[in-house]
Amino acid sequence: MAKLAAAVEALVRGQAVAMPPPRGLPYLGLEHASGTGFHLLDALTAHGIFRKYERVLDVGTGLGASARWLAARLGCEVLGTAADAAEAAAAAELTRRAGLAGQVRLLPAAPHALPVRERHFTHVWMIETLPRCRDPAAVLAETLRALRPGGTFALQDLVRAERAEPPPLPGWRPATTGERVSALRKAGFVEIVVHDRTSEAAERSPRVVAVRAELARRLDREAKRDPRLARLVADRAALARAVADGALRVVQIVGRRA
């Protein structure tokens, strides 16, 4: 992840000389594995109030793209969790360089055992994280525990169609929309609302599409010398193909803690 973060930062730094990145996306969303557009997140912010004193937990934020988006666009405080210490450190460095370290904190944490106080957060977000979790029920139980009463849980998920076989993505276990809704209800969430965003999920900015393609080329070259990076590059490419081909659909599900 450190090499991915360094490649993203270097590429965007060169781009910024000609044109600064948009507000909320200091790295153009290149950190985001699937490539779905960040314009989708605007719809999630319609659920709940976001102010400086609001606290958001962004579970599985990876290199921190969605956590930085929340802080820069909405002014709230965000705690983002990463898969391990190396990923958290890389995300923190990107956040520091973006000037958002005062609002965004990153830490390594297993999503099924979050090191946070009960009922501490006003919002919990999960952006395309749940299919990578071994025990989604335990993860949802933890998100409910972390939320204040009345707090909002916002999930953007990559799901498979009903009765369809999941695409061959190592480490991914995509569910159907119905299965996700059922899991949220069993966890204790109420007022669940679902929106299928597949038709609008593609990145809209030609600039971002072009820079993302350039990042893929650079990573491909480096991957020839680094087997670990080669696995990451292959996984990102397979995931992006599954979304682009419709093997995975993009849905947003919002619920509330009673």
Mean pLDDT of the region 242-249: 92
Average pLDDT of 8-37? 88
Residue 194, strand partner residues: 253
Confidence of residue 17 (pLDDT cuts 50, 70, 90): low
- Number of Cβ within a 10 Å radius of residue 246: 11
Strand partners, 112: none
pLDDT confidence of 167, banded at 50, 70, 90? confident
Domain ranges of the chain: 2-257
Burial 188-205 (b: 16+ CB within 10 A, else e): ebeebebeebeeebebeb
pLDDT tens digits, one per residue of 42-52 = 988 876 666 65
User: What pTM was estimated for this model as a whole?
Assistant: 0.93
Q: Please give the share of the chain, as a percent, with pLDDT higher than 90.
A: 72
Q: 14 pLDDT exceeds 90?
A: no
Mean pLDDT, all residues of the chain: 91
CATH placement of domain 2-257: 3.40.50.150
Residues 39-90: tens digit of each pLDDT = 999 988 876 666 655 889 999 999 999 999 999 988 889 999 999 999 999 9
